[in-house]
Chains A and B, each alone.
Chain A
C-alpha cells in the first residue's frame, strides 16, 4: 500500500459514519452546491494542488492532526477564511510531507462567526503556535488551549481584525 492510500485509510478512520461521502457534490453551472458532508475527498492534485480534501468539525481538527503527525506529515500553514454571507469562519490547515513520497492534505473546518472557537493543535505541531496566533490576529478566531494566544504581526494594542470581510479601516 503506498503512502497516498495509507493516508486515505488513516484519515477515513476518523469519519467511520461518512464513508459514502467520497463523491464530490454536484454544483455545476452557477447553482448553489448542497452543503458537503464531513469526510475525506480525493481531489486532483494537478488541478487543486492537494491529494485529499478533509472537511471536519472544529472538535475533530486535533484528531486529524494526530493522525497526520503519526503518518509523518508536517504543517505547512493555517489560513482563515471569512464567509461573511454564510455567517461562518473557515480554518484551513495545509499538510505536506518532508521528502520521500509526496502527498498534500488540506483539512478545513467551519465555525460560527459569532463564537469562533477552534481547539489548538499547537500541542501536536509546534509550528501551529505562530500560525494560530496569526489567524487569531487577522480574524479573531480563538484557538482554545493555545499557550500564548497574542497578536503576532499587528501591534499589541490593535483592536481590530483586518482580514474580516466587514472590516473597514
Chain B
C-alpha cells in the first residue's frame, strides 16, 4: 500500500524509534505518533551524539580544527576536510598547486564512491537484504586500503592541508585506483544492478514511496541526491565550481520522480560519474609540488566568508567569521543531512511505518554530521 490513507487521529499511540535502533544507523531518535501501522506525526529528536564542534573550532587555531572535520561525516570525511581547507584558503588567500588540486579531487571522489557503497549496503540491510552488504564492503575495502596508503588513516582522514595535501600519491596508488575502477565497472552491472536494482522486491519496497517535491526541497533546504532525486539539477561541483572540477567532463544525474527509487538511482549513477572524474584526473595528473606556500600561523583578515562543497549527502557550507585573530571567531557548519532530515516529519506523515523506515534509509543519514 503506497497511497497515504486518510487518518482519523482519534486513537493514536506514541512509538519511540531509537535512539538505539538498527534502522537509524546511529543515535537518532524519532518520536512517532501512530495510528495503527500509519504514522500520524514524526518528530526527529536530535543531539544524542552532539560534540559542539563549533566551540572546538573557536578554541583552537585554524589548522587545529582540521582533524575534527573528519569526525563529523565519517563516511565522506575527505569532503569535510576539503570544505574546511577551501574556506580558510579563501579567507587567507592561499594558493594551491595544481597537482595538489588533482590529488584532492581523486581522493575526494574515491571517498564519495566508498560513501555511496556503504549507503547502498546499509540501505539494503534496512530492507532485509544481507548479501549486497558483502559485495559492497568488498569493494569499499579496496578504496579504504588505497586511501590508507596515502592518507595514513582509514576513515577519519586528516589529509588536506591549507595550501595542498600532506602526502603525494605514488605509482602504486595510481595503478591501484585504475585497477579498482576497472574492477568496480565489471561488478556493477551484475552484482549491483542485476541482483539488486532490477530486483522486484526492492522495486516494490521503494518505488512510489516517500515522494519529495522540488518545492519541498527548496523550502527545507534539501540538497545533494535528495534534491537531484526530485528533479533539481543542483550540484555545487557544477553550479558553483571549486578546485579543478571545471576541467573534467562529467554529468549530474537527475531523476524527476521524487520517490525513494529516484534517490537510489541518483546515487548509483553518481558512482559511475565519480569513476569518470577519477579516470580523467589520473590521465591529466600534472607534476609539481603538492604543498604551496602557506604561513604556519594563519591570521585571516577580519570579515565574513562562506564556502560550499558537494559531499556525498549534499551541500556542506562553512560560514566563517574572522576578527583578525589566529582562531576562527565563529564557524557555523551547514551540514547537508541536518536540512535533509528536517523534511522527514512532513513527508513521513500518513506513511506506513515500514515505508517510513525505507524512506529514512533513502535520505542517507549520517548522525554525527547532523549533531556535529
Contact = CB atoms under 8 A, between A and B. Distances in A.
B119 interface: no
B350 to A, nearest CB: 17
Interface in B38-80: 46-47, 50, 52, 54-55, 58
Given A49-B305, A155-B47, A98 B372 contact: no
B281 interface: no
A150 B50 CA distance: 16
B346 to A, nearest CB: 7
Contacts of B315: 76, 96
Interface residues of B, number: 43
Interface string A91-120: 010101011001010101000000000000
B305 A98 contact: no
A47 B341 CA distance: 31
B221 interface: yes
B329 A75 contact: no
A106 B50 CA distance: 27
B218 A153 contact: no
Given A74-B221, A125-B221, A152 B46 contact: yes
Given A53-B304, A106-B304, A138-B54, A152 B47 contact: yes
A153 B330 contact: no
Given A49-B307, A98-B227, A106-B306, A77 B332 contact: yes
Interface string A34-50: 00000000000011111
Interface stretch (B25-33, B164-172, B233-241): B233-241
A79 B239 contact: no
B163 to A, nearest CB: 17
B217 interface: yes
A130 interface: yes
A163 interface: yes
Given A75-B221, A94-B334, A153-B371, A49 B342 contact: no
A130 B344 CA distance: 12
B8 interface: no
Nearest to B254: A99
A161 to B, nearest CB: 11
Interface string B308-327: 10000001010101000000
A77 B371 contact: no
Contact of A94 (B50, B319, B342): B319
A127 B221 contact: yes
Contact of A77 (B47, B52, B87, B334): B334
Nearest to A43: B304
Contact of B306 (A48, A102, A127, A151): A48
A162 B306 contact: no
A46 B93 CA distance: 10
B307 A81 contact: no
A102 B52 CA distance: 31
A99 B223 CA distance: 10
A147 interface: no
Contacts of A72: 218
15 contacts: A48-B305, A49-B305, A49-B308, A53-B304, A74-B221, A76-B339, A81-B329, A92-B332, A99-B234, A102-B240, A104-B306, A126-B346, A127-B342, A153-B46, A153-B371
Given A94-B334, A98-B218, 8 more contacts: A49-B87, A76-B315, A77-B317, A102-B239, A130-B342, A152-B47, A153-B372, A155-B47
